[in-house]
Structure 1
Amino acid sequence: MALIGSRPDWLTFDCYGTLIQWDEGLISATNRILARTGSSIEPQAFLEVFDRHEHSLERSRPHLSFKEVTAKALEAAMTELSLPSDPNDAAILTSSIGKMPPFPEVVATLGRLKAAGFKLAIISNTVDAIIAGNVAQLGGYIDRVITAQQAQAYKPSREIFEYAWASIGIDKPQLVHICASPHLDLVAARDLGFRAIWIDRGTGRKPLPDYSPNKVAAALDQVPGFLSEAGWM
């Protein structure tokens, strides 16, 4: 697919896995948790179980805070894998998130996009206090940050995206969303009909069988080229 339509006023971004090295940081934190248990389970195998419980809890009502979701998902994953849980496990994970650094090309690319006149926003399944540590590493280029804490909803629900657009004061034709998660952000792009660029960093996450993003990039620094091809830079 191509990037079609009018030039967007805003570029919106998923944060973790798109701008910030999520998998690398999460595996490091998970290694610390598993080391305590003496388990031989590989971190990636553990995270697959954790992710399943996390996404289920994010869909539950009433809305659970990010810390509640993390703690409950960790406890459920530990139980499923017959591992001893510890109340400190959730703190190990959540305290590591704000320290996770951006991918090497991210800050320079955000600078290019900002210089080209785009406004930049993040829409993230996290909380204000945690993501502040990540945003501080992004060169001061981010104009707005919308979190699940603010919206009281998690991606891929329409509520968090509609909250973000209302907060910024835009509608779907005025944005392009740039993201790494097929099953959160691309599901929303499919269901809500906004333009999207998928950053496929080779993590093994699969594209949706019934949806193709407008463009696919291996890293963020390919995005300016796509925008140039569309006549927007």
Structure 2
Amino acid sequence: MDDWWQRVTATTPSPDLRVTLLLALVALGCIAWAPVWRVTRHLVTVAHEGAHGLVALLAGRQLSGIRLHSDSSGLTVSRGRPNGPGMVLTLLAGYLGPSVLGLLVALGIHAGHAVGTLWALLVALALLLLQVRNLYGLWVVLVSAAALAAVTQWLDPTVQAAVAQTICSFLLIAGPWSLIDLQRSRRTGVARRSDPDQLARITRAPGTVWWALLLLISLGCLAAGGALLLR
């Protein structure tokens, strides 16, 4: 246990600027290249639904379960008032989940604790696993946790830091990217029950206003997280 704790809490120097930029390009490729994005967007859904569930609990709602589907959609069910601040915060959390998580990972890397950050992500996946209520969701979370566990167990700390940076860049970029995708779907009438549209129904503010607010915060996380990685 002492050896494990020393590994988790050990400081790891971040890769230099050129490597950081290269890893960011790799992360961008995992998003911009459609065949890969069809797979990697499941990770965004995990962060999205996990954020819904966490904020629902923090807002005093009762979490009933989380489902992840093969088309990369998801559903988080919580019990409580159908409107009010708690519901608003719960709905806001979803699309901000990847961006905020990416910013937190950037803070961990910037502090020199890239390895510890990977372990924190692994613990978060384990907690999320307890709330998943369908087989496909279990498979997605288990595969993600197994891959992350392999990285933390068998790779060199320097490589672990590179993996952490890639995950961080992926989350930071995927946040606004997903919101842009959402707006395309909303314009075609496909995403009529999206989070911004649900917010519009319970607050009477237009869904586009909520979407713009989410995009603005997400871009702010991208700028802040990118600045931390580049220092």
TM-score normalized with structure 1 length? 0.29
| Structure with the bigger percentage of helix | 2
| Structure with the bigger percentage of strand | 1
